[in-house]
Amino acid sequence: MKTVKDILHKVSVITISGDIQKLVSNVEYDSRRVVDGSLFVAQKGLVFDGHKFIDKAIKLGAKTIICENLPVTLNEKITYVQVEDTNRALAKVASNYFENPSSKLKLIGVTGTNGKTTIATLLCQLFKNLGYKTGLLSTVKIVVNEKEYAATHTTPNSVQINKYLNEMVEEGVEFCFMEVSSHGIHQKRTEGLEFIGGVFTNLTHDHLDYHNTFKEYRDVKKSFFDSLPKTAFALVNSDDKNGSVMLQNTLAKKYTYALKTMADFKAKILENQFSGLLLNIDGNEVWTKLIGSFNAYNLLAVYGVASLLNIDNTEALTEISRLGNVSGRFEYFMSGDGVTAIVDYAHTPDALRNVLETINDIRTGNEQVITVVGCGGDRDKAKRPVMGRIASLLSSQVIFTSDNPRSENPQTIIEEMETGVDAQNFKKTISVLDREQAIKTAIKFTKKGDIILLAGKGHETYQEVNGERSYFSDFEKLSQLLKAIES
């Protein structure tokens, strides 16, 4: 256990009332999990204000309260710490409580709109294959050496991050690769973490329901690089015009990767097939199991990070050639009757365009591309017509369906997607509200050699409707239905 004084190291404090030598049993931001001796941080969230639960936390045993606004009446037995920003305070307090675990391993953050999960996951796998103990904090899963945990957010809350990092330290993990989301940065979840490197993938339309403007979204991403120390590296995709923006004020050593422009790490696509990619990376040819130009960028970023972490280039390329697909990222299989089935997490306009353009680049032209796609509810509405337009433009047939409608009417979401469809493409589109029925409909449209793309949910194993989640795996459902047809 730590004292309140120890836990407040580097926390910007306004006032303190009470004993700072008091021992803290654990750090909590959720009053429901408070136990005797807890330090409770009253966060102001988008939905709930933790200040309303201070009394409840004290009744459950909290002995220390960190808050932005002090209660009108103070309990003499409780230590109150007033701060300007409880989100920032929670991040630093959590790091202090777990003895700053990020400083005891090599932590690399990956941020951008698309590619974060793939790059972080492939890096974790590559370094593991090279014999290192590795860790992963990603949308898909949490990895602590040989142990895996389910992930609930792209960037976990500050307490969870430091808890997992501390477990990694105890397990002897040397390298941890972490997805860093714009939400996580904005909500200060990464404050107090010591990164030795950061990677920028790209920036496209996403999360404008949260960030309001594209500039705000970009600037939040940029703040991650602004915070990197001069001992760290910043590796950015220079083919994306925002790559140079990320480097403007960083103290970190600056590096670039690209397929189209001059860069420190350069690659060229020599072959692009359903069986894989043939790349020339820095003058060396390497065959990979991944597909598409977007994965060429992802693999080049992996190569760049490995090189900057002093991995021999030949060793890195050898391991890159062995890497497989990440769950829900252009995950595909061939059915017995010759239909190619692809499941992808593409839930942004750019990601959907990348996947469909990759499919169209590879196919001979005789096959149909049948796309099943929806948009999530309670999220950025502006991208819905854009997604509808891209799907209908680049597919032979489109079936609009439910994704995770959450609290919204799924039919309304589909209608908003349909507004983006050009008149000449509208005849290629239909809507089937139920996702399973939409997949069945797609299969009915296929003949031998055709391609089904099931987009939007990828690795997710649930469907969320009216606040309730039920089990639903795109990959499993598509596999089952295609096998049922074969038999």
Asked if residue 141 and residue 73 are part of one domain, the reply reads: no
Asked if residue 362 and residue 476 are part of one domain, the reply reads: yes
Measure the CA–CA gap between 245 and 219, rounded to whole angstroms.
9
The tokens describing 126, both together, are 């590559």
Measure the CA–CA gap between 398 and 29, rounded to whole angstroms.
44
Quick check: is 325 in a domain? no
Residues 6+ apart with CB under 8 A from 8: 20, 81, 93, 96
Contact 331/477 with Cβ under 8 angstroms?
no
- DSSP helix, strand, coil percent of the chain (3-state; round to 5): 35, 25, 40
Quick check: is 310 in a domain? yes
Task: Determine which helix (DSSP H) or strand (DSSP E) holds 67, and give its type and residue range.
Answer: strand 64-67
Asked if residue 391 and residue 244 are part of one domain, the reply reads: no
Would you give the distance in Å from CA 9 to the centre of its chain? Answer: 30
Residues 6+ apart with CB under 8 A from 327: 140, 458, 459
pLDDT, residue 401, reads 98
Asked if residue 279 and residue 155 are part of one domain, the reply reads: yes
Residue-range definition of the domain harbouring residue 301: 101-320
Per residue of the chain (487 residues), what is the pLDDT tens digit?
Answer: 899 999 999 999 999 999 999 999 999 999 999 999 999 999 987 678 999 999 999 999 999 999 999 999 999 999 999 999 999 999 999 999 999 999 999 999 999 999 999 999 999 999 999 999 999 999 899 999 999 998 877 678 999 999 999 999 999 999 999 999 988 998 899 998 999 999 999 998 654 555 468 888 899 999 999 999 999 999 999 999 999 999 999 999 999 999 999 999 999 999 999 889 999 999 999 999 999 999 999 999 999 999 999 999 999 999 999 999 898 999 989 898 889 999 999 999 989 999 999 999 999 888 999 999 999 999 889 999 999 999 999 999 999 999 999 999 999 999 999 999 999 999 999 999 999 999 999 999 999 999 999 999 999 999 999 989 999 999 999 999 998 876 5
Quick check: is 326 in a domain? no
Asked if residue 423 and residue 362 are part of one domain, the reply reads: yes
For the chain, the domain total comes to: 3
| Of 287, 320, 353, the domain-final residue | 320
- Going by C-alpha positions, the residue among 407, 12, 328 that lies closest to residue 140 is 328
CATH code where residue 18 lies? 3.40.1390.10
Asked if residue 445 and residue 341 are part of one domain, the reply reads: yes
Query: Between vectors from CA 372 to CA 367 and to CA 373, what angle results, nearest 5°?
Result: 135
Contact 347/117 with Cβ under 8 angstroms?
no
The full DSSP string for 232-249 is SEEEEETTSTTHHHHTSS
Asked if residue 90 and residue 157 are part of one domain, the reply reads: no
Strand bridging mode 451-455 / 369-373 = parallel
Measure the CA–CA gap between 372 and 402, rounded to whole angstroms.
9
Q: Tokens 């990440």 belong to which residue? A: 326
The tokens describing 426, both together, are 């509208």
Quick check: is 232 in a domain? yes
pLDDT, residue 263, reads 97
Asked if residue 85 and residue 153 are part of one domain, the reply reads: no
Asked if residue 302 and residue 341 are part of one domain, the reply reads: no
CATH code where residue 234 lies? 3.40.1190.10
pLDDT, residue 209, reads 53
CA-based end-to-end distance of the chain = 61
Quick check: is 271 in a domain? yes
| Of 320, 348, 365, the domain-final residue | 320
Asked if residue 298 and residue 395 are part of one domain, the reply reads: no
Asked if residue 165 and residue 80 are part of one domain, the reply reads: no
CATH code where residue 375 lies? 3.90.190.20
Asked if residue 31 and residue 122 are part of one domain, the reply reads: no
| Of 97, 115, 150, the domain-final residue | 97
